């Protein structure tokens, strides 16, 4: 029996744990043990507690880096999390090493954890990187810009990578660990398993990759109760900090449809203000399997797990990205013809844009085509595939 550490450092929402928990459960079924070292503990009791897993707070960068420009690349993203400050980064890396030593783990499974990847170099622990398309860009020098559809100055991209590697290698020298040769060594540093499909990759030009398919949590959450009014069923999963939340809720309420909305932690005032005979708001997660079977259309921020669940059920999506990663992903989904991307800046046009998208039959046609292509896809098979790769780490090299 081996003890696996499932590690999540950057990013938010349910998706990271949603990928890791099913794999950890499969490994436990095979006789192994799993512990979680995670970024956010707020949902740990609800998401990890019922499965009996132990969890620990991930050592995190909590400082603020001022006056940085909008990031062009993954290297510049890392600058926001300590990769400009060697003493601070060294402190966090030592904390990671101390924690891994106390937990006496045999192997590491990373989900967007660059500092933990850096800290573990030289420890001799087998590693696997469980990723979506965003977390590990295609290999290049320099790495492709985040906004791959726009030109970016190559000199700046290269300079940023060199700065980040210089700081990382200062830290690794102090730790007595081998240096990194590229930013990819920080973002991954081990075999990558992509829990997505090639068409849903954040980078459309990636050549190859170990794609096992999306992993999302089915059969969990509250029972689904659609509002009685409206024949068309529209599901929405929105965030309370979305800048155009209220205009979007108002536009959804204007649709001639039965609308069910999940907004985690939404205020009571918002629920009371926008609930109607055709629109219900739930603070608690809903059973996504029931939702995707019953809805005709989904309104989402472009989180990969929920979008994939809907498309595999043949349901079109309207995407309202909140940040750059979601914008990258939304562009890939829109290219399939099964989605419409609507920016937050278009809040004044939400009613018109939603009504036009709802009436576009081609979206549903493309979504059904996507579902038909992957008709044999089973999430359980993807989970077993990742667990197989985890166990393969234990084979003596």
**Other Cβ atoms within 10 Å of 360 Cβ, number:** 15
Q: Which two tokens stand for residue 297?
A: 């259309």
Task: Locate all alpha helices (DSSP H) within the chain, ordered by sequence.
Answer: 15-29, 44-47, 74-79, 86-103, 114-120, 154-175, 184-187, 245-253, 268-274, 288-294, 304-312, 324-335, 350-358, 361-373, 379-392
| Cβ density class 205-216: b for 16+ within 10 Å, e for less | ebeebebbbbbb
Residues 49 and 159 in one domain: yes
Chain centre to alpha carbon of residue 264: 17
Task: Locate all alpha helices (DSSP H) within 114-238, ordered by sequence.
Answer: 114-120, 154-175, 184-187
Q: Could you tell me if residue 220 is inside a domain? A: no
3-state secondary structure of 8: strand
The C-alpha atoms of residue 358 and residue 364 are separated, in whole angstroms, by 9
- At 99, is the pLDDT very low, low, confident or very high (cuts 50, 70, 90)? very high
CA dist 281 → 219, 226, 242, 246 (Å):
20, 10, 15, 12
Per-residue DSSP letters for 218-280?
-S-SBPP---SS-SEEEEEE--TT-TTHHHHHHHHHTSSEEEEEE-TT--HHHHHHH-BTTEE
Per-residue pLDDT at 320: 97
Peptide bond into 142 cis (omega under 30): yes
Among the listed ranges 6-15, 35-44, 347-356, which one has the minimum average pLDDT value?
6-15
Q: Is pLDDT at 396 greater than 70 in this prediction? A: no
Residues 363 and 248 in one domain: yes
Q: Could you tell me if residue 221 is inside a domain? A: no
Residues 206 and 245 in one domain: no
Q: Is pLDDT at 267 greater than 90 in this prediction? A: yes
The closest of 150, 128, 143 to 20, measured between CA atoms, is: 128
Residues 65 and 160 in one domain: yes
* Total tally of structural domains belonging to the chain: 2
Per-residue pLDDT at 13: 65
pTM of the model: 0.91
CA dist 338 → 317, 357, 375 (Å):
7, 11, 16
Q: What is the pLDDT of residues 163-192, one digit of tens each?
A: 999 999 999 999 999 999 999 999 998 899
Mean pLDDT of the chain: 94
Task: Note the maximum CA span of the chain.
Answer: 65
- At 9, is the pLDDT very low, low, confident or very high (cuts 50, 70, 90)? very high
The C-alpha atoms of residue 34 and residue 105 are separated, in whole angstroms, by 9
CA dist 135 → 8, 73, 82, 325 (Å):
12, 11, 17, 9
Residues 284 and 311 in one domain: yes
Residues 189 and 285 in one domain: no
The C-alpha atoms of residue 19 and residue 328 are separated, in whole angstroms, by 20
3-state secondary structure of 302: coil
Q: Could you tell me if residue 256 is inside a domain? A: yes
The residues with which 111 forms a beta bridge, in sequence order, are 8
∠ Cα 118 120 123 (to 5°): 140
Q: Could you tell me if residue 66 is inside a domain? A: yes
Q: Could you tell me if residue 255 is inside a domain? A: yes
Q: Which two tokens stand for residue 381?
A: 């098979």
What CATH number is attached to the domain comprising 367?
A: 3.40.50.2000
Q: What is the pLDDT of residues 67-97, one digit of tens each?
A: 889 999 999 999 999 999 999 999 999 999 9
Residues 90 and 188 in one domain: yes
Q: Could you tell me if residue 139 is inside a domain? A: yes
Per-residue pLDDT at 395: 77
Q: Which two tokens stand for residue 195?
A: 């829990």
Residues 238 and 196 in one domain: no
Residues 6+ apart with CB under 8 A from 336: 199, 311, 366, 370
| Structural domain containing residue 32 | 3-213+379-392
């Amino acid at each position: 029996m081996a003890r696996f550490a499932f590690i999540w450092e950057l990013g938010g929402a349910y998706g990271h744990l949603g990928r890791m928990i099913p794999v950890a459960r499969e490994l436990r079924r095979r006789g192994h043990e799993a512990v979680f070292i995670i970024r956010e503990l707020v949902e740990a009791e609800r998401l990890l507690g019922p499965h009996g897993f132990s969890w620990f707070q991930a050592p995190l960068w909590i400082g603020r880096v001022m006056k940085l420009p909008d990031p062009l690349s993954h290297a510049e993203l890392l600058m926001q999390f300590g990769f400009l400050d060697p003493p601070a980064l060294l402190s966090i890396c030592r904390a990671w090493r101390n924690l891994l030593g106390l937990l006496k783990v045999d192997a590491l499974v990373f989900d967007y954890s660059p500092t933990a990847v850096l800290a573990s170099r030289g420890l001799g622990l087998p590693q696997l990187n469980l990723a979506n398309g965003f977390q590990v860009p295609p290999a290049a020098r320099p790495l492709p810009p985040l906004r791959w559809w726009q030109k970016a100055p190559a000199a700046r991209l290269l300079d940023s990578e060199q700065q980040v590697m210089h700081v990382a290698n200062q830290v690794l020298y102090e730790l007595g660990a081998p240096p990194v040769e590229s930013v990819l060594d920080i973002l991954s540093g081990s075999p990558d398993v992509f829990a997505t499909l090639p068409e849903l990759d954040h980078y459309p030009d990636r050549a190859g990759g170990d794609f096992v398919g999306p992993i999302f949590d089915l059969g969990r959450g509250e029972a689904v109760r659609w509002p009685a009014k409206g024949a068309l069923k529209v599901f929405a999963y929105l965030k309370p900090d979305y800048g155009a939340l209220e205009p979007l809720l108002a536009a959804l309420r204007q649709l001639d449809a039965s609308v069910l909305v999940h907004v985690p932690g939404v205020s009571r005032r918002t629920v009371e203000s926008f609930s109607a005979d055709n629109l219900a708001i739930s603070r608690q997660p809903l059973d996504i399997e029931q939702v995707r079977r019953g809805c005709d259309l989904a309104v989402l921020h472009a989180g990969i797990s929920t979008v994939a669940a809907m498309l595999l059920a043949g349901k079109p999506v309207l995407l309202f990205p909140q940040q750059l990663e979601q914008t990258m992903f939304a562009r890939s989904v829109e290219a399939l013809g099964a989605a419409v991307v609507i920016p937050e800046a278009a809040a004044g046009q939400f009613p018109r844009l939603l009504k036009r998208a709802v009436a576009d039959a081609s979206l549903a046609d493309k979504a059904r085509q996507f579902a038909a292509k992957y008709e044999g896809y089973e999430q359980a098979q993807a989970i077993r595939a990742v667990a197989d790769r985890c166990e393969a780490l234990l084979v003596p090299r």
